[in-house]
Chain A
């Protein structure tokens, strides 16, 4: 590297430093805090200098790196390695993962906390798979997916608490309800261009939430719905002391009572629901409607010229995605036994979109990896909630900049003429 280049990159880094100072100076450096009557400023200049220093250093290193004409080799090597793994051994990997998921509750280190996290990850995997139909396959950016999750949860909760029907009746009803909402919203808006659609779905998600908060008579407003019936094991409740003349899970199987029974049951419930979603998606992708979704994502005008009805095709994607969102919502309601509008904010939609995007749009395995990564690993830093969200958002930007098709972006054709060679 020549001297000229070094001077240039030092200058450039210093410029970065000035910008960083302007960015962090007021917002980080001058923290506002309430004391008594009004607001006061607590300076945190130390932190600002560290941040600015990091920016200067980072910029300088990037400059050095690009002067040597090497790209971000680490990142691309890592991701291409990931891609090649899944291409060759996708099937083995999937089977191993499912087996692991099945035995997971009985592994020696698995405790209550791990089970809770696992259930949460599986819920997000299911939501991610559901949304993958809409975003990944049909290419419709839906920023209000949480609305269908909420519709599922609330319809489950309302049906179950009002009529006292069992989980297995309420679940499909909640799914149908959510799908119905999907069609209701989708019908007018699916004609819109991609980015408009994103904003409208976002608006729809917020409308649902505001209605849930304010429609006291039905939803009980911000207080939410309590006492949602827990699921039973084919009629056997998970209770310590069952009612007179009624068997419960532990008495029927002659087991010691344990709260873990219900947790394990819930775990398998969501595992099965998620696997059904996956199986369904993999199947339908290979059917004409699935191919039409992907064709629409590629080129809507070409689709029209071939006689594919774009509105109906998108509508099926929307409704099916909504239905799975509704199923996941019912599960959420029965697991928590309590739901309130607070659980269905925009940020939930953003997280689900992030999972789909980071995983690689349309990639089922990608959704799993992204869920484990985003929910699981960051769950360990629970106390650093906001930092977690910064990392979340940052990852979305980085992925779009460096790998816009997502980490796992291999698409395998849905049908072969000469047989599947790989």
Chain B
């Protein structure tokens, strides 16, 4: 039982990270109908920017909460630039091209970003000293002590706050309305005088910022990153987006949680070696049996 609760806590933490990345996939899919294959690598870049900022601020001796806030903002800002640029260079010229073109372009972009970071930052893994240590302990009398670290609390709370802001942005502001309009019908939205290009750019900026937060969490949680982390995390987050119903924002978060839990429980109870297989198998099963996911809208083929 205690072991189960521990896995649950770990799964929710991991799920928060996946959920934040998944939002980027689902938003881009919703608005331009493509799988942004490079999104996992945007997350990786976010993690690197966060790592670099942590090292720099670590030397200045500023208080921890201030460092966290600064790193968060810096990572969001710089990573958003990447998201914006990738869209402008690799996707925007392809609107209206044949259907596999954006996917192939995204694949190319993903390869570029991965190797670019490898060249610029080296191929070695980058370890970082834990910044937030300690935690709460439960069931101290039993055999297995359940630990909820402050870091896990930080990650989950930050995710909830960001989700709150984000939901407000999408449902209550003009920007959100423009975005939802673009999802429905891009041509009509443009005819109504909304700058569609700008709306799409902002979508990429938001998605990348959220991915960079996930990257920062990843650095803090695992304490080690390399240029390759975006690939696996990207696939899992994509699975999360599909599981929740691609195009649905609450779905992405729900899917993220589920994938985090599945992975942790699989690793905890079945086999650690095959925990990545679990994620991929879930992806395949979901796509075959529930292609619209849990919260997605059924899409009826127009003939």
Chain A residues at the B interface, C-beta cutoff of 8 Å? 19, 22-23, 25-28, 30-34, 38-41, 139, 141, 143, 188-189, 191-196, 198-200, 202-204, 206-207, 210-211, 213-214, 301, 346-347, 350, 353-354, 357, 386-387, 389-390, 392-397, 400-401, 404-405
Contact = CB atoms under 8 A, between A and B. Distances in A.
B276 A19 contact: no
B160 interface: no
B111 A41 contact: no
Contacts of A198: 35, 100, 103
B49 interface: yes
Given A27-B121, A32-B122, A400 B55 contact: no
A191 to B, nearest CB: 8
Contacts of A199: 35, 235, 238, 283, 287
Contacts of A26: 48-49, 52-53, 78
Given A34-B127, A196-B291, A211-B277, A396 B93 contact: no
6 contacts: A34-B126, A199-B35, A199-B235, A386-B119, A390-B115, A397-B90
A395 to B, nearest CB: 7
B120 A31 contact: yes
A193 B292 CA distance: 12
Contact of A27 (B116, B238, B242): B116
A206 to B, nearest CB: 6
Contacts of A301: 301, 303
B237 to A, nearest CB: 12
Contact of B81 (A22, A211, A392): A22
A398 B93 CA distance: 10
Contacts of A390: 111-112, 115-116, 119
B52 A32 contact: yes
Interface string B87-102: 0011001100111111
Given A31-B122, A194-B99, A143 B277 contact: no
Given A25-B78, A394-B108, A32 B284 contact: no
B51 interface: yes
A139 B103 CA distance: 13
Interface residues of B, number: 68
A30 B54 CA distance: 12
B108 A200 contact: no
Interface in B109-162: 109-124, 126-129
B85 A393 contact: no
A203 B280 contact: yes
A32 B108 contact: no
Given A194-B99, A207-B277, A404-B97, A28 B120 contact: yes
B107 interface: yes
Nearest to A301: B303
Contacts of B102: 400
Contact of A400 (B105, B119, B273, B284): B105
Contacts of A202: 235
B266 interface: no
A41 B107 contact: no
Contact of B104 (A32, A189, A389, A396): A396
Interface string B188-206: 0000000000000000000
Interface in B261-278: 273-274, 276-277
A210 B277 contact: yes
Given A25-B78, A26-B78, A214-B274, A141 B104 contact: yes
Give the secondary structure class of A's interface: helix
A41 B48 CA distance: 12
Contacts of A353: 104, 107
B231 interface: yes
Of the listed residues B100, B123, B124, B129, the one surrounded by the most CB atoms of chain A closer than 10 A to its CB is: B100
Of the listed residues A141, A214, A390, the one surrounded by the most CB atoms of chain B closer than 10 A to its CB is: A390
A343 to B, nearest CB: 17
Of the listed residues B56, B99, B108, B112, the one surrounded by the most CB atoms of chain A closer than 10 A to its CB is: B108
Contacts of B129: 38
Given A198-B103, A393-B115, A404-B97, A19 B81 contact: yes
B295 interface: no
A392 B111 CA distance: 8
A393 B93 CA distance: 16
Nearest to A384: B119
A198 B284 CA distance: 11
Nearest to A202: B235
A25 B52 CA distance: 11
B97 A389 contact: no
B67 to A, nearest CB: 15
Nearest to A205: B280
B103 A404 contact: no
A22 to B, nearest CB: 4
Of the listed residues A27, A350, A394, the one surrounded by the most CB atoms of chain B closer than 10 A to its CB is: A27
Contacts of B111: 347, 350, 389-390, 392-393, 396
B52 A400 contact: no
B45 interface: yes
A82 B62 CA distance: 61
Contacts of B288: 188-189, 191-192
Contacts of A354: 108
A363 B251 CA distance: 41
B187 interface: no
Nearest to B29: A195
A30 B84 CA distance: 21
A207 B281 contact: yes
Contacts of B85: 19, 23
A386 to B, nearest CB: 5
A246 B122 CA distance: 52
A401 B283 contact: no
Interface in B24-81: 34-35, 45, 48-49, 51-53, 55-56, 77-78, 81
Contacts of B94: 400-401, 404
A362 to B, nearest CB: 12
A386 B277 contact: no
B122 A195 contact: no
B131 to A, nearest CB: 12
Contact of A204 (B104, B114, B115, B284): B284
